[in-house]
Amino acid sequence: MKRLLILGGTGDAANLIERAGQLPGLTVIASLAGRTPKPNIPRSGLVRIGGFGGVAGLIDYLRREQVDLLVDATHPFATQISDHAARAAAVVGIPRLMLRRPQWEVQPGDHWLPATDSSGAAALLPGLGRRIFLTVGRQPLPAFAHLQQLWFLMRMITPPAGDAPTPPGQILLDQGPFTLTNEQALLTEHRIEVLVSKNSGGGAAYAKIHAARELGLPVVMISRPPLPTGEMVSDVEGSLNWIARNQL
């Protein structure tokens, strides 16, 4: 039996955990950060929840649990865990794969303004509109907190910490997938003038981009941060092929 650790937190990770769990000769351990109140936990197999304690903690874990293979299927903006995974796998000497869904590409009718990070996105906003739909999660909110003259509809899964600086506006706790109809209604109801999004890719969060296109709204699109070097695939099938090749 080989032991596979899958670092999760995405829809693709949940699918991969399910599919890999059905492969013979493989024990799958799913790892989640434990940030969401209703995590997508696999129906069978082993699940661990919470941080490892940095690179050193992950190295200890990989050795203690005798992990043979590692798939990093975390979110494209979860840079710290991907960096830790790359460093720990190299120290322990096990194969590591990154699963990253393709990023969204600009379509005819889109009006995207690229930003390299949250601060860059915040700097663009005053010239674009007063009512902003901010869909970047809770962690980047402080980067927008100084924009007191604007109003923000801030959608996220878990609320920010009570003492975290946040911009003026309304917090909306919700989790995808979202539909085009609902996103258009939300943008219209709140008289949104600008959308801010990370380039997360995938289908579950794309309806807001489509809705902004339909309504002719500008989108401040935060580009993906760089990834560690290493083998990478863009879908679950590619991951299963990699697992099969490395299981031998």
67 binds ligand NAP (CB under 6 A): no
Residue from 178, 184, 224 nearest 201 by CA:
224
Nearest CB to ligand NAP, comparing residues 74 and 246 = 74
Q: What are phi and psi of 211, to 5 degrees?
A: -65, -40
Rule CB under 6 A: choose which of 26, 69, 70, 81 binds ligand NAP. 81
Q: What is the 3-state secondary structure (H, E, C) of the chain?
A: CEEEEEECCCHHHHHHHHHHCCCCCEEEEEEECCCCCCCCCCCCCEEEECCCCHHHHHHHHHHHCCCCEEEECCCCCCHHHHHHHHHHHHHHCCCEEEECCCCCCCCCCCCEEEECCHHHHHHHHHHCCCEEEEECCCCCHHHHCCCCCCEEEEEECCCCCCCCCCCCEEEEECCCCCCHHHHHHHHHHCCCCEEEEECCCCCCCCHHHHHHHHHCCCEEEECCCCCCCCEEECCHHHHHHHHHHHHC
Q: Name residues contacting ligand NAP, limited to 166-205 (CB under 6 A).
A: 198
Minimal distance, residue 34 CB to ligand NAP, in Å: 7
Total residues at the site for ligand NAP (CB under 6 A)? 24
Sole window of 30-38, 146-154, 168-176, 228-236 interacting with ligand NAP (rule: CB under 6 A): 30-38
Nearest CB to ligand NAP, comparing residues 132 and 136 = 136
Minimal distance, residue 158 CB to ligand NAP, in Å: 10
Nearest CB to ligand NAP, comparing residues 141 and 193 = 141
Tell me, what amino acid is at 7?
Answer: L
Rule CB under 6 A: choose which of 2, 77, 91, 166 binds ligand NAP. 77
10 binds ligand NAP (CB under 6 A): yes
Rule CB under 6 A: choose which of 14, 70, 71, 75 binds ligand NAP. 75
Rule CB under 6 A: choose which of 9, 21, 45, 218 binds ligand NAP. 9
Sole window of 3-11, 112-120, 204-212, 227-235 interacting with ligand NAP (rule: CB under 6 A): 3-11
Chain residues binding ligand NAP by CB under 6 A are 7-10, 31-33, 35, 51-54, 57-58, 74-75, 77-81, 84, 137, 198
